Amino acid sequence: MFLDAWQAWLTGGMLIAMVVVLAIGRFGPDLVMMGVLLVLLLAGVLEPEQAVSGFANPALVTVAMLYVVAAAMKETGAMNLVASKLIGRPKNVLEAQVRLSLPVAGLSAFVNNTPIVAMFLPALSGVARRGGFPVSKLFMPLSFASILGGVCTLIGTSTNVVVADLLRRENAAGNPVTEGAGLNMFTLALVGLPIAVLGLAYILVFSRWLLPDRTKDDGAEAADGYYVAMRVPEGSPIAGKSVEQAGLRHLPGLFLSRVDRRGDSIVVGPSFRLEENDTLLFVGRLDSVVDLQQLRGLSPVEHEDKAPEEDPSYRPNLRLIEAVVSTGSAFVGRTVRQAGIRTRYGAAVVAVRRQGQQIQGKLGDVLLRAGDTLLLEAPRGSGARFSSSPDFYLATERLDPAALRHDRAWIAMAVIAGLVAAISFGWLSPMVGAMAAAGAMIALRCCTGPQARSAVDFQVLIVIGAAFGIGSALQTTGLAGSIAHELIDWLRPLGPWALLAAVYLLTTAFTMTMTNNAAAVLMFPIALSIAGEADLNVLPFAVAICIAASCEFSTPIGYQTNLMVMGPGGYRWLDYTRFGGPLTLLAAAVCILLAPLVYGGF
């Protein structure tokens, strides 16, 4: 039953205002959409139960649990393991793009895109430096490949999960328009896989001409950075390998200055073979030193990396803290070894930085001065203790663990495989499967409870929940039906493919100004009304919404991973338009052409 016309006009006006405010970008999408939801509540357009029903939606829980699963893959280094095996040491840009595109697209079909891109960025920086390739030729293809892989499966992106749940809800309500329509694990692959294949081919062929040639120089930062000593422990997988084979040559933002072996200090080349108990001396910037601490096969000189997980000294349970030595500190004039920082604070010094001056000698023999910055490994929550100590001016605790849980990598991958099998064969619903996988990751200690909680992106969850409420307003006021009716009147002479194209293009336009999840939720009731009034199969429209909400490559704000690579790759807005614009149109053309042919009903 439609409500008064003024309520439909109010809903439409708020929708337009929301799009404009989001396009300006001054306020976060969660604040804007919750504000719109509040106005609709105060105006009586929505009942409280309708407004907040999205926050109890199974799709919301599924998305939250998938964040935990992705966090476990990151904390165990499972994605690093896959990346290092598959990327290898390419000889040219094209080979590097091939080696990154296939594993990234494959992984993103089953794991959230954001941590995949975050984990591959440092690996690709090393590839670019070793091969002399411009990073701008690799980072945007990395983001685009992750997006293309995500449209191939139900759990590839949160958008797919949301649209699948919208279809499920309509079926549960007995809506004849959606009868028999649903998205299973690989339903989207019938259209998503051809788009991914053609999209990756486009990237490999046209990136040569359409991507800029820009290289970021990290050498200056590395030369005046932290001085850090790492040991090759017994049983290390890099023992017996050369410096280059171990991936330690031309690390991004790091310089391997020498190796200490049995009392000798050796300046090494790429062919130098590492042995157990070698001490490697690096100089580099902070983020690169943090990455080095988490590298499999190396440990700080004070650690043997053999502590049981229950032991508080187990490195994945520790945090890295930056602390500046104060003028009145008792450590001034003493060496790192003499200072007794471990005895006094329960912390290990893993790196030292002295602004404007390089440090020589062994790490334990470095004579501390006021103003030196120490990188310490300490139990979680120790940052406040260091900040209040007279020995330090200030201290900053990083959220990253001191080391990854490498021993759990294969367990995490087994859990992912179980999740895919359970949903694919219908043993568990997506929500129950995701909850089981997240619980298994925590129970099997692939990640901790605090890591799981911090991994969940609550801004995304708020946007999804609010979008469900706004979508309900589109339906209850009859606004969605009115928009659908107008589109049918305009496009009926052009046939059903024109209606599908209109839904796809509107979803793309929404995605350019708001999050992809919000765009999908708001477009769904309009697509549902179009399918019902035109007597067409709703599944091609649902698939079009999933793909259009993800495959927006022409702007850096079209997808989160595009923003992630913008700064590190040195990209400008027009770089996305020039390289991503044609890819956006290619994905649209393939989806609009294939979806009705594959799913029928036109």
pLDDT tens digits along 335-348:
888 888 888 888 88
- The structure tokens listed for 151 are 């449209």
pLDDT at 314: 63
Of 335, 369, 404, the residue at which a domain comes to its end is 404
34, 55 in Cβ contact below 8 A? Answer: no
Residue 213 has pLDDT above 70, yes or no: yes
Q: Kindly state whether residue 189 falls inside one of the protein's structural domains.
A: no
Residue of 471 and 199 predicted with greater confidence: 199
Rounded to 5°, angle at Cα 196 from 191 and 200:
155
Residue 317: domain span: 221-404
pLDDT at 84: 65
Could you write out the DSSP letters of every residue in 95-111?
Answer: HHHHHHHHHHHHHHTTS
Q: Which of 406, 432, 407, 408 is nearest to 419 (CA)?
A: 432
Q: Kindly state whether residue 393 falls inside one of the protein's structural domains.
A: yes
Greatest mean pLDDT range, 138-142, 330-334, 343-347, 372-376: 138-142
Secondary structure (3-state) at 479: helix
Measured distance CA(163)–CA(332) in Å, rounded:
61
Q: Do 399 and 518 lie in a common domain? A: no
pLDDT at 224: 52
Secondary structure (3-state) at 265: strand
Q: Kindly state whether residue 93 falls inside one of the protein's structural domains.
A: no
Residue of 158 and 189 predicted with greater confidence: 189
Of 355, 389, 404, the residue at which a domain comes to its end is 404
pLDDT at 307: 46
pLDDT at 193: 97
**How crowded is residue 493: how many other Cβ atoms within 10 Å of its Cβ?**
7
- Rounded mean pLDDT of 322-333? 85
In this structure, what CATH number is given to the domain that contains residue 291?
3.30.70.1450
Residue 599 has pLDDT above 90, yes or no: yes
Measured distance CA(272)–CA(396) in Å, rounded:
36
**How crowded is residue 190: how many other Cβ atoms within 10 Å of its Cβ?**
15
Q: Do 53 and 173 lie in a common domain? A: yes
Whole-number mean pLDDT of the chain? Answer: 83
- Rounded mean pLDDT of 56-79? 85
Q: Kindly state whether residue 128 falls inside one of the protein's structural domains.
A: no
Confidence of residue 223 (pLDDT cuts 50, 70, 90): very low
pLDDT tens digits along 143-169:
999 999 999 999 899 899 999 999 998
Q: Kindly state whether residue 439 falls inside one of the protein's structural domains.
A: no
Residue 45 has pLDDT above 80, yes or no: yes
Measured distance CA(434)–CA(447) in Å, rounded:
15
Measured distance CA(222)–CA(131) in Å, rounded:
18
Measured distance CA(146)–CA(134) in Å, rounded:
20
270, 244 in Cβ contact below 8 A? Answer: yes
Q: Do 201 and 265 lie in a common domain? A: no
- Rounded mean pLDDT of 582-595? 96
Measured distance CA(249)–CA(361) in Å, rounded:
21
- How far are the Cα atoms of 5, 159, 517, 576, 586 from residue 583, in angstroms, in the given order? 41, 20, 20, 10, 5
- How far are the Cα atoms of 23, 55, 191, 558 from residue 589, in angstroms, in the given order? 25, 34, 11, 18
**How crowded is residue 81: how many other Cβ atoms within 10 Å of its Cβ?**
18
- List residues bridging with 279 in a β-sheet: 231, 260
- The structure tokens listed for 45 are 């357009």
pLDDT tens digits along 345-377:
888 888 888 765 667 667 788 888 888 888 888
Q: Do 353 and 370 lie in a common domain? A: yes
Question: What values do phi and psi take at 446, rounded to 5?
Answer: -75, -25
Residue bearing tokens 């926050």: 55
Q: Do 296 and 360 lie in a common domain? A: yes
Residue 106 has pLDDT above 80, yes or no: yes
Q: Which of 114, 15, 7 is nearest to 521 (CA)?
A: 15
pLDDT tens digits along 500-559:
999 999 999 888 877 788 889 889 999 999 999 889 999 999 999 999 999 999 988 777
Residue bearing tokens 């187990």: 314
565, 587 in Cβ contact below 8 A? Answer: no
Q: Which amino acid is at 415?
A: V
Measured distance CA(528)–CA(570) in Å, rounded:
41
Measured distance CA(571)–CA(468) in Å, rounded:
34
Q: Kindly state whether residue 85 falls inside one of the protein's structural domains.
A: no
Q: Do 532 and 569 lie in a common domain? A: yes
Residue bearing tokens 């052409």: 593
Q: Using only C-alpha atoms, what is the Rg of the chain? A: 27
Return the HEC string of 311-363: CCCCHHHEEEEEEEECCCCCCCCCEHHHHCHHHHHCCEEEEEECCCCCCCCCH
Confidence of residue 488 (pLDDT cuts 50, 70, 90): confident
Of 358, 383, 404, the residue at which a domain comes to its end is 404
Torsion, Cα 273 279 284 285, to 10 degrees, reads 130
For residue 587, is it left (φ>0), alpha (ψ between -120 and 50) or beta?
A: alpha
- The structure tokens listed for 99 are 């080696």
- Rounded mean pLDDT of 84-105? 83
Measured distance CA(241)–CA(263) in Å, rounded:
21
How far is residue 586 CA from its own chain's centroid? 24
pLDDT at 218: 45
For 161, counting Cβ atoms within 10 Å of its Cβ (0-12 exposed, 13-18 middle, 19+ buried), the class is buried
Confidence of residue 220 (pLDDT cuts 50, 70, 90): very low
Measured distance CA(328)–CA(425) in Å, rounded:
66
pLDDT at 130: 66
Residue 317 has pLDDT above 80, yes or no: no
Q: Comparing 3-7, 266-270, 455-459, 529-533, which segment has the lowest mean pLDDT?
A: 3-7
Q: Do 207 and 282 lie in a common domain? A: no
The bridge status of strand 373-379 relative to strand 299-300 is: unpaired
Q: Do 208 and 232 lie in a common domain? A: no
Confidence of residue 439 (pLDDT cuts 50, 70, 90): very high
Q: Kindly state whether residue 583 falls inside one of the protein's structural domains.
A: yes
Give Cβ neighbours of residue 468 (< 8 Å, ≥ 6 apart): 53, 54, 55, 57, 521
Residue 561 has pLDDT above 80, yes or no: yes
pLDDT at 214: 67
Q: Do 205 and 328 lie in a common domain? A: no
pLDDT at 305: 45
Q: Do 255 and 373 lie in a common domain? A: yes
- The structure tokens listed for 204 are 């490999």
Q: Do 525 and 578 lie in a common domain? A: yes
Residue 311 has pLDDT above 90, yes or no: no
For 244, counting Cβ atoms within 10 Å of its Cβ (0-12 exposed, 13-18 middle, 19+ buried), the class is middle
Q: Do 261 and 332 lie in a common domain? A: yes
Q: Comparing 212-226, 416-430, 460-474, which segment has the lowest mean pLDDT?
A: 212-226
Beta strands in 66-211 (DSSP E): none
316, 401 in Cβ contact below 8 A? Answer: yes
Greatest mean pLDDT range, 173-177, 243-247, 486-490: 173-177
pLDDT at 403: 63
What's the total number of domains in the chain?
2
Question: What values do phi and psi take at 386, rounded to 5?
Answer: -70, -40
Fill in the DSSP letter of residue 403: S
Q: Kindly state whether residue 449 falls inside one of the protein's structural domains.
A: no
Could you write out the DSSP letters of every residue in 136-204?
Answer: GGTHHHHHHHHHHHHTTSTTSSHHHHHHHHHHHHHHHTT-GGGTT----TTTTHHHHHHHHHHHHHHHH
Percent helix, percent strand, percent coil in the chain, to nearest 5: 60, 10, 30
Q: Comparing 3-12, 130-139, 371-380, 396-405, which segment has the lowest mean pLDDT?
A: 396-405
Global pTM?
0.70
pLDDT at 3: 47
